[in-house]
Amino acid sequence: MLTKRIIPCLDVHDGRVVKGTKFLDLRDAGDPVECAVAYNNQGADELVFLDITATSDERRTMVDVVERTAERCFMPVTVGGGIRTVADMRKMLLAGADKVSVNTAAIFNPEVVDEAASAFGCQCIVVAIDAKRNERGSWTVYTHGGRKPAIRDGKELDAIEWAAEVCKRGAGEILLTSMDADGTKAGYDLGLNRTVSEAVTIPVIASGGAGNLDHMVDVLRDGKADAVLAASIFHFGEYTVGDVKRHLQKHDIPVRL
């Protein structure tokens, strides 16, 4: 049986991990490669690097991080943040990333998803969707790190429709972040995850809101997500990847131990 994936996410700025990463056994918890290795040793199923830098100089630093990680971690690695073109993607894939994630660039130029899928295969292309509940009872896509609603043809872009569109265009996976739940530690948005997961035929990674282990059970079972992504609950040393997996197994959710 296909197991549910547990995916730690590392925010990287100028070659260093930002937000606290607490590894008792690491000499340098700010080095993304050291953190990646620590998560690898904890049994993480995949890893995401989110590059939050702005300049191309610093982006070269990210290429170096990916290259060094690929020498020591034998698990799938996704790189997201600031990736706009097929050329940007190629750079990261050649450095050793297995997948690249696009967000805002795909909204302004949806063809980039088609181009990337045909250049590298859809398995490499993750489309990240930041969604926020609206007063109509559905969810709107947001851009620029969740600051602006995405507008298309004069209307707010609907998250479910957008998910179905990128699936058709060749995305291999959706990384779905609830702007309402993100940072609250009050649990994932189960309605959002379930609705998107049922609207597409590709896997959905749930993100935003993880505060405890039961939240992960909820989103994988009731939210119908295929994987969970989490940052702070791992970085601050509250739980290890192993803790999450043992808890999920207790609740009859298939995991790789």
Site residues for other proteins per CB under 8 A: 1-5, 40, 43, 45, 67, 70-71, 74-76, 93-98, 120-123, 172-173, 201-203, 226-227, 256
In the complex, minimum distance from the CB of residue 124 to other proteins, in angstroms, rounded to a whole number: 9
Q: Is 252 a catalytic residue?
A: no
Residues 6+ apart with CB under 8 A from 44: 6, 7, 8, 75, 241
Strand partners, 102: 127
Q: Residue 53's closest CA among 13, 89, 17, 19?
A: 13
Q: Which of 45, 51, 98, 130 is catalytic?
A: 130
Q: Which is nearer to other proteins, 83 or 93 (CB)?
A: 93
Residue closer to other proteins (CB basis): 180 or 243: 243
Tell me whether residue 130 is one of the annotated catalytic residues: yes
Nearer to other proteins, 65 or 179 (CB): 65
Residues designated as active site = 11, 130
